[in-house]
Chain A
Amino acid sequence: MTDPSADPQTERHMNRVDLITGGVFAVLGLAIAYLSWTMPRLEMRGIHPATVPGLVPGLLGLALAFCGAVLGLKAYREGRGAGGWSDLLALFRTEEAGRFCAVAGLALVYALVLVGLLPFWLASTAFVFAFIVVFEAWLSPQPRPLLRSALWAAVQGVIVGVAVTLVFQYGFLVRLP
């Protein structure tokens, strides 16, 4: 197991992350507790007042708010010196952030736009093709020639798209989107 606490820069930005998320959880917890408090208590149905539907979510909301507040306060007290906010902002400008955006973007476009718009096999082929080309030809430390990468990506894309469609549609009798 790697020790994540070794890097002081990581610790500084984690401290700021905890400060923000602590606040977010505290607000979220209170909001849930409020929604639970205002939830119908089904008096018309004559249920026992100790069994109202909002009881457990309300208690959980309060627990989340408490834990969030403690997390935020701990982060505030520990401080970890100046530079935490700039470290946190720098995190969004790293190469890793770019790679994350590329994966998340491709995945969301495929699942939320292409599936349903195109036949499933074609949507899957397009996604696999785009994913491989982006990570082999552009975002790789040793990029491969675009044409070669695209050719093999297209072959794999068609095989995956068609095979998954056939297996699920005819093997598992799933009506694909």
Chain B
Amino acid sequence: MPEGLTLLGHGIAHFLTWEGLFNLAWASLLGIVIGALPGLTATMGVALLVTLTYKMPPDQAILCLMALYVGAIYGGSRSAILLAIPGTPASAATTLDGYPLARAGKAGMAMGIATTSSALGTLVGIFFLALIAPWLAEFALRFGSYEFFWLALFGVLISGRLTAIEDPLKGYIAGILGLLAAMIGMEGLHAFQRFTFGVSALGGGINLIPAMVGAFGFAEILAVMKRRFTAELVTSDDRVLPRLADITRYWRTTIRSGIVGTIAGIIPGVGEDIGAWASYAAARRASKEADQFGKGSIEGLVAAETGNSAVIPGAMIPTLTLALPGSAAAAVLIAAMFIHGIRPGPLLMTENPAFLYQIVGILLLTTIAITVFGLSLTKLLVRVLLVPREKLMPVVYVLCVVGSFAITQRMFDVYVMIAFGLIGFVLREMRYPMAPLVLGIVLGDLLDVNLRRGLLLSDGDVTPFFTRPISAVLFAIIAVTILMSLPMVSRRVTDLFKRLDPQRRAG
């Protein structure tokens, strides 16, 4: 414990330099602006910033990316409150109570509460990150090929199950498509080139950053510009700085939402939007003012904003310790870490223990930065919301093109970006979630190599995949996840629980 605290102190102090503070300031402010602008998401921002920071020292580059990520998730609340349009999908639940509050002349109060709730949500998440991550990394040292195979499969499946809007099947298909995209190029066991069809540029496989810039940048531009835009800005001049009583009044909701958000973050590929909706639903169930939810409830706003912000540190737990992205933006962070020579995974605490605490330090400093910016730059951020998308989107697209090109300086990556943008747009229009697709691309190699390495170790015998204790548990979870997504099975299980629960039976 004392060693952990010392490392944490070093992690914070590491960035208390002029360079660190300058990078923290511009990246978190840029994040807030990106988040506030409807159509620009946190994942898109992080993916584009990777291309702008790849020449920086690794620690400073990760600082910029993390600060932008946290800033963007918070920034989305601005447009949710003032325009009734979530700046990022993470703020969709914020709209429900934020906008009615703004219409009631309490826009300032709503912005203030959103800011402090975001900060507190991040703090709750940070607490669990510092607590769980070192333990999980140590536990993960027991994982072998069998366990990593199941873990990769579990990540893609659970993400597909929880992010699909209506049908888990579409989530699974998106995940399989991502895994198949990862099969393109040279495989990791025998250096054989698969599905390259004579195209030499495909030999290295699909580069994650251009694919993400396409799926979250170009696809978003297409989706935003397709729609006609009719939004009305509602603002007021009431006090932005919240009173202490306003913050402490809902402390139970804050802690509960922080925990729910952190759990959503830990589950692979389940991002901030699900975290916000889950904590909003939990808060409404437990609230004495449940009837006010959706009509301008401060508690609802607290739950949504605490929930989405707590996802970020939560998502860093599997990202850092298992290299299993907790959210779509965390998938980009993994790619960025590899670019900068940092290897997330169970060995991180052995090879580079300071890094985990540097991440905790970055999150703490960014929390302070977004609180200061959020409470002080109200007028500037309102002005940002008025930038017309006709003027903004072509600039973003130019950055998508040049950003995809910049890392390896070849046009092939621009073509990858365009292909993933078009495919991503079409899939999204057909209600396929993007997170499992991204997770599939990230985890494809892990799944492929570990399945075949496991079979090699067991001389072709599949039983160790089911008999080793951790493998058996992971397999059981996967089996239950798949079975529960079958309507026939989930209906029967629900009926069974209803029969076992006398209260429900009476109701």
Contacts and interface: CB of A to CB of B under 8 A. Distances in A.
B431 A14 contact: yes
A174 B410 CA distance: 11
Interface in B382-429: 388, 390-391, 393-395, 397-399, 401-402, 405-406, 409, 411, 414-415, 418, 421-422
A60 B176 contact: yes
Nearest to B450: A56
Contacts of A14: 430-431
B431 A128 contact: no
Interface string A121-161: 00010011001100110001100000000000000100011
Contacts of A127: 394, 397-398
Contacts of A34: none
Contacts of A132: 390-391, 394
B172 interface: yes
Contacts of A7: none
A49 B397 CA distance: 47
A53 B398 contact: no
A176 B402 contact: yes
A interface: dominant SS: helix
Contacts of A64: 173, 176-177, 180
A110 B189 contact: no
B228 interface: yes
Interface string A84-107: 000000000001100110111001
Given A42-B192, A71-B173, A95 B228 contact: yes
A11 to B, nearest CB: 10
A5 B406 contact: no
A111 B190 contact: no
Contacts of B228: 95-96, 99, 141
Given A4-B431, A35-B195, A71-B170, A56 B183 contact: yes
B395 A108 contact: no
A164 B359 CA distance: 30
Contacts of B14: none
Contacts of A40: 192
A107 B183 contact: no
A45 interface: yes
Interface string B200-244: 000000000000000000100110011110100000000000000
A96 B227 contact: yes
Contacts of B165: 4
B226 A96 contact: yes
Contact of A25 (B93, B173, B187, B388): B173
B450 to A, nearest CB: 10
B interface: dominant SS: helix
A112 interface: yes
A141 to B, nearest CB: 6
A99 B226 contact: yes
Contacts of B289: none
A50 interface: yes
B190 A67 contact: no
Interface string B43-58: 0000000001001000
Contacts, number: 160
B452 A51 contact: yes
B225 A135 contact: yes
Contacts of A100: 222, 225-226
Contact of B225 (A18, A103, A175): A103
B381 interface: no
A90 to B, nearest CB: 15
A81 interface: no
Given A14-B430, A127-B394, A50 B180 contact: no
Contacts of B93: 1
Interface in A39-60: 39-40, 42, 45, 47-51, 53-57, 60
Nearest to B230: A141
Contacts of B395: 128, 160
B92 interface: yes
A160 B394 contact: yes
Contact of B418 (A32, A67, A68, A107): A107
19 contacts: A1-B273, A35-B195, A45-B190, A50-B455, A50-B459, A51-B453, A56-B452, A57-B195, A67-B169, A67-B172, A95-B228, A111-B414, A111-B418, A115-B411, A116-B411, A128-B394, A131-B390, A131-B397, A164-B398
Interface of A: 1, 4-5, 14, 17-18, 21, 25, 32, 35, 39-40, 42, 45, 47-51, 53-57, 60-61, 63-64, 67-68, 70-71, 74, 95-96, 99-100, 102-104, 107-108, 110-112, 115-116, 120, 124, 127-128, 131-132, 135-136, 140-141, 156, 160-161, 164, 168, 172-177
Interface of B: 52, 55, 92-93, 165-167, 169-170, 172-173, 176-177, 179-180, 183, 187, 189-190, 192, 194-195, 218, 221-222, 225-228, 230, 273, 277, 388, 390-391, 393-395, 397-399, 401-402, 405-406, 409, 411, 414-415, 418, 421-422, 430-431, 447-448, 451-453, 455-456, 459-460
Nearest 8 A-B pairs (CB), nearest first? A131-B394, A50-B455, A50-B460, A135-B390, A51-B452, A56-B448, A53-B192, A128-B394
